[in-house]
């Protein structure tokens, strides 16, 4: 994968013994559809106008800039729940301050449709989502439709039972795949920091994300992405909250039902660690030690690199597979922070998605597909 740049082997599959269907994901934007599921509905009153819109083949920042320009609003005052890829059809939500809803309804921007407008009392913030619903189509399959469906159902049965490894997808690491090495170089003082705060955040988060993928790949190799390791910090899937040290008997129940998940490190000085002397702690310390790093080095980025924890398992809800002509269709829902491409790769096997450049005037997404 491009983000590696010599750091680690390719990320292992959860289902390496099950054959994939090959093919291409996102041959066209219509083959990758995602709809945001908001954490709450608009209130119906307030100084902000809540907009539900559909965009095709453009980045979220580009879409927001276009709407803000037409409405005469500073784009910095626009609220948005999440960033989405360019090469897709996406349904999203945004808020615009002190704008009459009728003006938003009348917007005419190529590649963008306003679906619904309502009043709301506050600015939307990143992460104000309970998840995303995806509909993907894989084309150019290496086998016929019947065989593709058999293979897909076999993979789906595993993902329904165990979830997928919660890897960060390639989108996290930039178009050229060099964001993580550059972020590590900046943290170690061998490369200067960019002036732009968004770019600094992008590089730091890419470095943290790459190290998380390295950590998780070892667990997946050993069949442990959804299993307990002594000292693990657990996190409830639905409510998140604070991670806690989970006992083996408790983990067997909570991990088995999918109510909770083990977590892995997003390194930083404020990151909660597993207890000293436990196997879980040793695994995380090894990821840093092999690269001559400490968690404190991320403190050089200030509040950009404080650190947190991320579930190692990605719950795949409502997973359905079907064939559509010569293509394979996948439909499922993921919680915030989950990457649809991580799910799709289990079905494709060895045929990574096509990377696309950013739209004119846009920036590479700094967050996941959530």
Enumerate the active-site residues.
Answer: 85
Contact in structure between 46 and 122 (CB atoms under 8 Å): yes
Contact in structure between 268 and 208 (CB atoms under 8 Å): yes
- Which residues, in sequence order, are bridge partners of residue 97? 48
Cα 331 from Cα 85, distance rounded (Å): 17
Given the structure tokens 């789906």, which residue do they identify? Answer: 156
Given the structure tokens 């059809």, which residue do they identify? Answer: 89
Question: Angle at the Cα of 109 (from 103 to 111), degrees rounded to 5?
Answer: 135
Q: Alpha helix locations (H) across the chain?
A: 60-71, 101-105, 145-162, 179-187, 197-221, 248-257, 279-289, 340-348
99: helix, strand or coil: coil
76: helix, strand or coil: helix
Cα 147 from Cα 263, distance rounded (Å): 36
Query: Which residues make Cβ contacts (< 8 Å) with residue 214, sequence separation at least 6?
Result: 7, 8, 287
249: helix, strand or coil: helix
Given the structure tokens 């309502």, which residue do they identify? Answer: 118
Cα 358 from Cα 185, distance rounded (Å): 24
Angle between helices 340-348 and 145-162 (to 10 degrees): 130
The torsion region of residue 260 among left (phi > 0), alpha (psi -120 to 50) and beta comes to beta
Q: Which helix or strand (DSSP H or E) is residue 296 part of? A: none
Q: Which two tokens stand for residue 164?
A: 């997928």
């Amino acid at each position: 994968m491009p983000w590696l740049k010599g750091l680690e082997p390719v990320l292992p599959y959860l289902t390496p013994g099950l054959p994939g269907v090959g093919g291409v994901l996102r041959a066209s934007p219509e083959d990758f559809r995602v709809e945001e599921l908001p954490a709450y509905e608009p209130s119906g009153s307030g100084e902000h106008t809540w907009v539900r819109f559909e965009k095709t083949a453009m980045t979220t920042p580009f879409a927001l800039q276009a709407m803000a320009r037409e409405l005469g609003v500073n784009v910095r005052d626009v609220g948005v729940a999440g960033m989405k890829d360019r090469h897709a059809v996406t349904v999203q939500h945004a808020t615009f301050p002190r704008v009459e809803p009728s003006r938003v309804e009348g917007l005419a921007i190529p590649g963008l449709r306003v679906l619904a407008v309502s009043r709301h009392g506050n600015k939307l913030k990143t992460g104000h989502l309970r998840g995303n619903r995806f509909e993907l189509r894989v084309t150019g399959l290496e086998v016929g439709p019947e065989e593709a469906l058999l293979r897909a159902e076999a993979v789906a049965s595993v993902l329904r039972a165990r979830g997928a490894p919660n890897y960060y997808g390639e989108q996290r690491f930039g178009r050229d795949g060099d964001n993580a090495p550059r972020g590590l170089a900046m943290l170690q003082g061998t490369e200067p920091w960019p002036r732009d705060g968004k770019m600094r955040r992008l590089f730091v988060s890419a470095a943290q994300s790459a190290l998380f993928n390295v950590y998780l790949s070892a667990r997946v190799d050993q069949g442990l992405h959804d299993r307990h390791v002594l000292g693990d910090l657990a996190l409830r899937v639905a409510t998140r909250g604070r991670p806690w040290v989970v006992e083996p008997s408790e983990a067997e129940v909570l991990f088995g039902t999918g109510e909770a998940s083990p977590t892995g490190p997003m390194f930083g000085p404020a990151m909660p660690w597993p207890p000293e002397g436990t196997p879980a702690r040793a695994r995380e310390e090894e990821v840093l030690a092999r690269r001559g790093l400490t968690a404190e080095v991320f403190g050089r980025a200030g509040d950009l690199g404080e650190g947190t924890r991320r579930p190692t398992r990605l719950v795949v809800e409502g997973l359905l597979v079907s064939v559509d002509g010569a293509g394979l269709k996948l439909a499922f829902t993921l919680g915030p922070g989950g990457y649809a491409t991580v799910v799709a790769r289990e079905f494709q096997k060895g045929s990574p998605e096509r990377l696309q450049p950013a739209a004119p005037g846009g920036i590479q997404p700094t967050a996941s597909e959530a």
